[in-house]
Amino acid sequence: MAQTPTHSFDDITARLDEIIGQVRSKDTSLERSLDLFDEAIALGSKAVEMVDTSKLSDREVADLTADAARSCEDTDRKRASVEPPEATAADAPRS
């Protein structure tokens, strides 16, 4: 099977899924599996390069910032519900 050109991140992930399916097949020879492995490495490198050079839109940055803030608030709420309250002098046992 000839390699199809991959132009987008979605194309790359789709091709990687195809490669995984082919490598898992019991009918795929070792030589073919090694060729597919080489192709997968090249595709992975291309995907990493795409991610490293991508730029987020202002909207994406705002969405990610809001998600992070909500996550921090959730963590703070969970932590507050688990941590015991601080002891005060009034809580100390009397002798």
27-67 per-position pLDDT tens digit: 999 999 999 999 999 999 999 999 888 887 888 888 888 88
As a whole number of angstroms, the distance between CA 24 and CA 60 comes to 36
Give the per-residue pLDDT at 13.
93
Residue predicted with more confidence, 44 or 69: 44
Q: What's the confidence (pLDDT) of residue 23?
A: 93
Domain boundaries, given as residue ranges, for the chain: 9-81
Q: What is the pTM of this model?
A: 0.54
Q: What is the pLDDT of residue 18?
A: 96
- Helix and strand numbers (H, E) in the chain are 3, 0
CA distance 69 to 42: 36
